[in-house]
Structure 1
Amino acid sequence: MKIQTIGRPQGTNQHVQSAKSSKDASSSESFESILSSKTAKSPADSKGLNEQQRQVDFTNMTRQEMVDWMNRQIRNGRISLDETSSLLSMTMKVSVATGQPVDMATDHEHIDFIERASQGIEWARSHSDQQLAERLQAAIELMQRFQGKTTEEQTQAG
């Protein structure tokens, strides 16, 4: 297929020629491989995994990752809004120095949410708050249901 243009803006001939010579130099590369290399995510971005391959790890997750995960699950109908209330409360963080909430978008601390829920259960029981202990236990069970699963597997778990 040949594409013809009607006139070119001044100065584009040189650009077209340099693009053509770079095409000739790398003619052995397929369009797909070039596109793939240009659009590939860096290792720091999702640890090099695409959305379908990413595994959930509640033992090593930032607060923002937890909220993002909950939102995806709710949006896709895998969990209900009620199921997330205990999880959401574990994403709250207040600065001791300022007494103000810490912005989760800039907080990169990784948290073991399963351990945090277990500690919450112990605290609730020591303060005779059986309802809180039950909600946190349900949160642990929910996390265990999805722990280590990829996005594809979560569809089947929900």
Structure 2
Amino acid sequence: MLTDKDEESSGLEKKLYLYGSIITLLSAAIFILLYRRNRALRRRKNIFKSEALSLKSKINDSFDELVSLAKKNDSTFLTRFQEIYPDFCPKLLDINPKLGASELAFCAMIKLNFTSKEIAEYTFIQHKSVQQKKHRLRKKLNVPSDQELFIFFDTL
């Protein structure tokens, strides 16, 4: 009887050892898989961060280029602006198709948050003329006088 119980306990010990080994191996396999997945996610995250930084620097460079073109009153300003903001001018032209290139360039300067004083300085016109242009533009685009043009253009 004792030998039977010894054999039973020995068999039970073997089963427990076997089950423990299986659980340990499964746990190790799961840990390795999770570690590899986490490492791959971290790599992707780093790649996305570097791409985002690259895009951000390109956007900043493009914005700086636009500002310098506007400051120089360069004729390529509107063309470059349309490359960077492709939807802006078509949306303005949907509101009023009779807008000219000079008015679109004026709107582009407002979109870039230039003040009236800066616009006057860069386009070589009087500050009062800029104010009048803004007023005429409000009428053409049906912008209420209580709404800022900066905000109107940002929401386009």
Q: TM-score, normalised by structure 2?
A: 0.30
Q: Using CA pairs below 8 Å that are at least 6 residues apart, which structure has the higher relative contact order? A: 1
Name the structure where helix makes up a greater proportion of residues.
Answer: 2
Larger radius of gyration, structure 1 or 2? 2
Q: TM-score, normalised by structure 1?
A: 0.30
